[in-house]
Chain A
Amino acid sequence: MKTLVVPPLVTALLLAASVGAGQQPPVLTPRDSAFHALNRLAYGPRPGEVERVAQEGVMRWIDRQLAPDQIADGDRAAREREFRVLHYDRGDLAQLYLDAQRERRERKADTTADQTPGPVEQQGRRLAGQLAELAVVRATISERQLYEVMVDFWTNHFNVFLGKGADRFLLPDYVEHVIRPHALGRFEDLLIATAESPAMLFYLDNWESVALGLNENYARELLELHTLGVDGGYTQQDVINVARIFTGWSIKRPRQGGDFEFHESVHDEGEKQVLGVGFQASHGMDEGIRLLKLLANQPATMHHVSQQLCERFVSDDPPDGCVDDAVAAWRRSHGDLRQVLRAIFTSPDFWAPGTLGGKVKTPLEFVVSAARAVGADPDTNPRLAQLVARLGEPLYLHVAPDGYPEKQDAWVNSGALLDRMNAAVALAAGNVPGLVVHLDSIVSPSADADRLVAALDERILGGTLSPNTRKVLREQLADVGDPLQARALAVGLAIGGPEFQRQ
C-alpha cells in the first residue's frame, strides 16, 4: 500500500469518522428525504411542506416536478400579471431602447440640462428592477419549483449581462422566450435558441462579426462555457472556424424591431472545419445550425453540462458516479433534460448521507428559501431582489459570460455572512418593506422557548437543528416575555444561523 502523508487535522477527522465505522449508514427517513429533495430541487420547504412531500412519497413528488406543465400554478400566474415588464413585447422594448437613446443624446447635448436620467431611461431601470424581482417572486411562490431552479441554472449557464448597452432592453424577451420555454426541454433546442437570441448576439458581440472583421467572442464562449468546456479538446483554429460559421448571425435594427436576422452578404463563404468535421462552403445559416447540433451532442458537452448540473444538485465537488449517470441518460435520451435530471435524482450519490446539507445556499437560494420559510408573499416591489443583490448576487448583472458561481467559496465570506444574519432578522421582524410575512404558518406567537424551538426545527429546519443551536435559542428566549418578540427573535436566529445556510 502506498504511504499517505496525512496532515494532523485530517487525521483527527478520520479518527472521528472511524468511531462510526462498522455501523450501517443511516437510512433516510421519508421526512429526511423530503427535506433534502425540497432543498435541492426546490428553493427549500414552506412550513408544512416536508410532511406533504413525505406523505406523497419523494420519488412521486420528484416525477411530478419533472412534468411542470401538469402542476397547477395559479398563484404564480396571477402574480405575474402584476409585473408590467411582461406586458412589453420585443417590439415595445426595441421602441423603448430607441426612445431612451434619443433622450440620452438630447440630455448630453444640452450642457445646461439636468444630467439625471430622463423618464424613459428611468422606466428602463424600473423594468430591470422588475425583471429581477419577477425571478425572485417566481422562485418563491411557484409550485413548479424544479422548473424555476432550472430557469436560474440556465440563466447562469447562458449568462447575459443586463448592463451592456442594449441588453437592458433585450433581456426580458431572452428570459421569457429563450430560457423559460426550454428549461426542461432538450439541450439542443435551448442551445440553438440562445445562439439566435438578440440578447446573446449583442452580449458576446457576434452581431457585428463579419467575414472581413471576425469577432471570436461568442465562438470562444460557446465552446468554453456553453458546450464543450475549457478542456473540451478544441483548438484556437476551431474557435476561429466557429466564428467564421457564425458570421452574419446578427440583429435587425431597433427601428425594425430588433429581431434575429441572418446577413448572407457578410457571411464567410469559405469551407470550414470544426473538431475535424467539414462544413462545405456556401451553406449560409445552415452551417451554424448544423454546428450547434454537433456541439450539443458531443461527449465533452454532455460531460461538461452534466458536471455542472451535479455541482448544482449534488455537491460542489460531485462524485463521478452521478455525473456518469447523467451522461448515460443524456446519451440515451439525446439530451432530454428531464431524463438527465431524473438520472441525477435517482443516483445513489444524490442520496448519500454526505450529500445532505453538504452545500451552502447561494444568495438567491438563501433569500428565496427564507422568504418561503416565513410564508412571505412578495409583490412587484423589488425588495427581495435588492436583498439578493446586497448579499452579492444582483440578478442579470454578472458581467462575465460564465454566470454566477455555484460553489460556496464565492459566497461565504465574513461580510456576506453578517449580511445574511441581518437579512434574516429583518425578514423575521417584518422589517423588509413591501413584504408581507406569515410567521403564523410556522408557529403562533409564544413565549414558550421549547415550543418555539420545536416548531422551528420541524417547520423550517427539517429536523436538522443541532444541540448547540437548540441550547443557544433557549438561552436567548429565556427572558423574552413578549410572545410576538420571542417568535420573531427565534425565527430570525434560526434563519440567520448556520443550519439554514446549508442545503
Chain B
Amino acid sequence: MIISRRVFVKSGGLALVSFGLDPLFLARAAFATNRLSGYPPNRPVLVCLFQRGAVDGLNMIVPHGDALYYRERPRIAVPATDVIDLDGYFGLHPRLAPLKQWWDAKSLAAIHAIGSPDASRSHFDAQDYMEAGTPGVKATPDGWLNRYCQHDRQHADTPFRAVAFGPQLPRILAGSAPSLAIDDLQAFGLRAPRLQPAARDRLTRAFEQLYAGSATGLLSSSSQEAFHAVQMLQQLDLAEYRPTNDAAYPRGRFGKAMLEIAQLIKADVGVQLAFADVTGWDTHVNQGASEGLLATRLGEFGQALAAFAQDLGEKLRDVVVLTMSEFGRTVRENGNSGTDHGHATAMLVLGGPVNGGTVLGRWPGLDPAQRFEGRDVQVTTDFRDLFAEILARHLGARDLSAVFPGFTPDPGRFPGAIRG
C-alpha cells in the first residue's frame, strides 16, 4: 500500500487523519481500555468550588484580633462581638456559623494569604490562570483538573469520573480527558416532548443505536460515555432523593449543585472530581459587615457546605471540598463602602482527610509595609502549592509537574491541608 511520505512524517508514522481518527480519539480509546468492573466504595473524592468574582477573604475569615483591620474598614469590618472566633486572631463571618461544628471536629481548615504569583487584577485573566493552573500563561490549552485526569488514568472507568455542575464545561476541566457537564442531573439525557418516559427511552435507544453503528472517532467514544452515563443515572432514583441527617440545602443554583454532587457521590457511580461555581462576590459597593450583600452570599455558601457535609455523613471520610477564588480584595474599604480588586484571599478545605481546626499558611499581616503594592494582602502561598498538596496527598497523584507545567511542586511548601 502507498501512503504519502509527508503524511507519514507529519503524523509520526500514523496516517490517522485520513481514517477520520485522531490522536485524541486514541487517547480516549486508551482511557476506555482501563475500565474496571465496580468502583472501590472508599475512593477519594475532590469537590472544587469556584467563588467567581473574587471573594473578600478578610470578611470571610476575619482577622478580628488585628486593630488595623478595624481601622482600615470603619464601615464594613465585622464587629469582634459578631465574629465566631477560631483561634483568638481569626474568626468566621457570623453567617458561616453552620461551618463551626466542622471546624471543631477538625474537618475544616482555612488557608489565608493564598493566591496567584501573577499580579493581574482582571477577573477573567485571574480566573483563567487559576483554572489553567499556569499563572501568567494564557496559551495553556487545558485545565489543571483535566490534566490530572490525563496523567492519572486508573480512575478512568466511569463517565462520572469528573463532573462539572453547570451548563458548560469550565476551563478547569477542559482538555482531552473525558469529563461531563451536567446542568440538571434529573434532566441529563434525552428529553422527550411532554416528558413521556416511554418516548424518552425510545429516543435514547434510537440515538444509541445510531451512534453505536455509525459514529467514528471521538464522536463514537464520547457517545458511548454519554449513553453509559444516562444508563447509570436511570438506575438511580433521582427524583426520590432525600438528603440524610436532616441536611437542609439552601434554595438556589448553588445549593442545588451541592445537593446533586452529594447525590452522585453517595450513588457510588465513581465520581472522583466534582466542580461547581458560586457567584456574586464582586462586592465593590455596599458590601456590608455582619449583615448585607456579602453576608447574604456567605450565608448561602456556608449553609450549602454544611448541608453537604451533613448529608454525606460517613462518606465525608473520603471527600475533600476545596474552595477557590481568583483573587482577594483591598484591605481598605473604598468610598462606596465596598472593596476593590486585591491580591491574596482565603480558601477553605473541608472533609474527613482535612487537617482541620487551624488557619494555615503564613500570615503576612495587614501592616502597609507588608502589603502587596501597598494595598492588598500579600500572597504567601501560591495556590498551586495547595492544589498540588490535595492532588498528591488526597488523590494520590504522582506526576504533579505534568499537572502544573512550569512549576516544581515541593512538599516543603505544601500548606499542610491534608492529614499525613
- What total of A-B pairs shows CB separation below 8 Å? 169
The answer, among A9, A105, A421, A466, for a CB contact under 8 Å with B213, is A466
Which A residue sits closest to B229, measured CB to CB?
Answer: A414
Also in contact, A414 and B180, with CB within 8 A (given A13-B21, A161-B124) = yes
CB-CB under 8 A from A471, the residues of chain B are: 213
Contact B213 A472 (CB under 8 A): yes
Scan residues 291-345 of chain A and give those whose CB is less than 8 A from a CB of chain B. Answer: 315-317, 319-321
Q: A496 CA to B284 CA in the complex, in Å?
A: 45
Also in contact, A413 and B213, with CB within 8 A (given A10-B14, A111-B286, A390-B167) = no
CB-CB under 8 A from A502, the residues of chain B are: 219
Contact B17 A429 (CB under 8 A): no
Q: A252 CA to B316 CA in the complex, in Å?
A: 56
Contact B21 A317 (CB under 8 A): no
Scan residues 186-237 of chain B and give those whose CB is less than 8 A from a CB of chain A. Answer: 188-193, 202-203, 206-207, 209-211, 213-220, 222-223, 225-226, 229-230
CB-CB under 8 A from B229, the residues of chain A are: 414
A6, CB-defined interface residue at 8 Å: yes
Contact B20 A413 (CB under 8 A): no
CB proximity of A383 to chain B, nearest CB, Å: 15
Contact B206 A472 (CB under 8 A): yes
Also in contact, A402 and B214, with CB within 8 A (given A21-B2, A161-B124, A408-B22) = no
B238, CB-defined interface residue at 8 Å: no
Contact A400 B286 (CB under 8 A): no
Q: A6 CA to B26 CA in the complex, in Å?
A: 13
Contact B211 A358 (CB under 8 A): no
The residue among A21, A392, A476 with the most chain B CB atoms within 10 A of its own CB is A476
Contact A109 B286 (CB under 8 A): yes
Q: A401 CA to B220 CA in the complex, in Å?
A: 31
Q: A316 CA to B218 CA in the complex, in Å?
A: 13
B6, CB-defined interface residue at 8 Å: yes
CB-CB under 8 A from B338, the residues of chain A are: 108
Which A residue sits closest to B202, measured CB to CB?
Answer: A476
The residue among A18, A224, A422 with the most chain B CB atoms within 10 A of its own CB is A422
Q: A413 CA to B285 CA in the complex, in Å?
A: 40
B159, CB-defined interface residue at 8 Å: yes
Also in contact, A413 and B179, with CB within 8 A (given A316-B22, A399-B128, A499-B214) = yes
CB-CB under 8 A from A408, the residues of chain B are: 22, 24, 217-218
Scan residues 401-430 of chain A and give those whose CB is less than 8 A from a CB of chain B. Answer: 401-402, 408-410, 412-418, 421-422, 425-426, 429
The answer, among B122, B190, B214, B230, for a CB contact under 8 Å with A466, is B214
Contact B207 A415 (CB under 8 A): no
Contact A357 B181 (CB under 8 A): no
CB proximity of B164 to chain A, nearest CB, Å: 9
CB-CB under 8 A from A493, the residues of chain B are: 206-207, 210
A501, CB-defined interface residue at 8 Å: yes
Scan residues 422-471 of chain A and give those whose CB is less than 8 A from a CB of chain B. Answer: 422, 425-426, 429, 431, 466, 468-469, 471
Contact A418 B6 (CB under 8 A): no
Stretch at the interface among B168-176, B248-256, B340-348: B168-176
CB-CB under 8 A from A163, the residues of chain B are: 124
Contact A421 B209 (CB under 8 A): no
CB-CB under 8 A from A319, the residues of chain B are: 6-7, 10
CB proximity of A228 to chain B, nearest CB, Å: 13
Q: A278 CA to B284 CA in the complex, in Å?
A: 45
A230, CB-defined interface residue at 8 Å: yes
Contact A497 B180 (CB under 8 A): no
A354, CB-defined interface residue at 8 Å: yes
Contact B176 A409 (CB under 8 A): yes
Contact A401 B222 (CB under 8 A): no
Contact B230 A418 (CB under 8 A): yes
Q: A224 CA to B140 CA in the complex, in Å?
A: 13
Per-position 1/0 for A360-386, Cβ under 8 A of B: 100000000000000000000000000
Number of residues of chain B lying within 8 A (CB) of chain A: 70
Contact A315 B210 (CB under 8 A): no
B42, CB-defined interface residue at 8 Å: no
Contact A414 B218 (CB under 8 A): no
Also in contact, A415 and B210, with CB within 8 A (given A360-B219, A401-B138, A409-B24) = no
A212, CB-defined interface residue at 8 Å: no
CB-CB under 8 A from B217, the residues of chain A are: 408
Which A residue sits closest to B9, measured CB to CB?
Answer: A320
Contact B214 A413 (CB under 8 A): no
B267, CB-defined interface residue at 8 Å: no
CB proximity of B252 to chain A, nearest CB, Å: 15
Also in contact, A417 and B226, with CB within 8 A (given A317-B11, A429-B193, A499-B214) = yes
B29, CB-defined interface residue at 8 Å: yes
Contact A417 B222 (CB under 8 A): yes
Contact B6 A415 (CB under 8 A): no
CB proximity of A198 to chain B, nearest CB, Å: 18
CB-CB under 8 A from B218, the residues of chain A are: 360, 408-409, 412
| Number of chain A interface residues as a range | 35 or more
Which B residue sits closest to A471, measured CB to CB?
Answer: B213
Q: A474 CA to B180 CA in the complex, in Å?
A: 31
CB proximity of A338 to chain B, nearest CB, Å: 27
B411, CB-defined interface residue at 8 Å: no
B241, CB-defined interface residue at 8 Å: no
A164, CB-defined interface residue at 8 Å: yes
CB-CB under 8 A from B22, the residues of chain A are: 316-317, 408-409
CB-CB under 8 A from B10, the residues of chain A are: 317, 319-320
Contact A358 B226 (CB under 8 A): no
Q: A147 CA to B230 CA in the complex, in Å?
A: 40
B392, CB-defined interface residue at 8 Å: no
Q: A87 CA to B82 CA in the complex, in Å?
A: 53
CB proximity of A102 to chain B, nearest CB, Å: 13
CB proximity of A15 to chain B, nearest CB, Å: 9
Q: A468 CA to B208 CA in the complex, in Å?
A: 12
CB-CB under 8 A from B139, the residues of chain A are: 224, 230, 402
B13, CB-defined interface residue at 8 Å: yes
B37, CB-defined interface residue at 8 Å: no
Contact A18 B1 (CB under 8 A): yes
Contact A414 B210 (CB under 8 A): no
Contact A498 B210 (CB under 8 A): yes
Contact A421 B207 (CB under 8 A): yes
Also in contact, A418 and B14, with CB within 8 A (given A164-B124, A399-B128) = no
CB-CB under 8 A from B203, the residues of chain A are: 421, 425
CB-CB under 8 A from A412, the residues of chain B are: 218-219, 222
Per-position 1/0 for A1-38, Cβ under 8 A of B: 00010100110011001100100000000000000000
Contact A109 B336 (CB under 8 A): yes
Which B residue sits closest to A115, measured CB to CB?
Answer: B293
CB-CB under 8 A from A410, the residues of chain B are: 174
Also in contact, A415 and B182, with CB within 8 A (given A358-B20, A408-B22) = yes
Contact A4 B336 (CB under 8 A): no
Q: A125 CA to B136 CA in the complex, in Å?
A: 31
Q: Which residues of B contact A (CB under 8 A)?
A: 1-2, 6-7, 10-11, 13-14, 16-22, 24, 26, 29, 122, 124, 127-128, 138-139, 159, 167-169, 174-176, 178-182, 188-193, 202-203, 206-207, 209-211, 213-220, 222-223, 225-226, 229-230, 284-286, 292-293, 336, 338
24 A-B interface contacts by CB (under 8 A): A13-B16, A17-B19, A108-B284, A109-B285, A109-B286, A111-B292, A319-B6, A392-B169, A400-B138, A413-B179, A413-B180, A413-B222, A413-B225, A414-B178, A415-B181, A415-B188, A416-B222, A425-B191, A425-B203, A466-B213, A469-B210, A472-B206, A475-B209, A497-B207
Given contacts A390-B167, A414-B159, A498-B219, 10 further A-B contacts (CB under 8 A): A13-B19, A109-B285, A354-B19, A413-B178, A414-B222, A414-B223, A416-B169, A421-B207, A431-B193, A472-B206
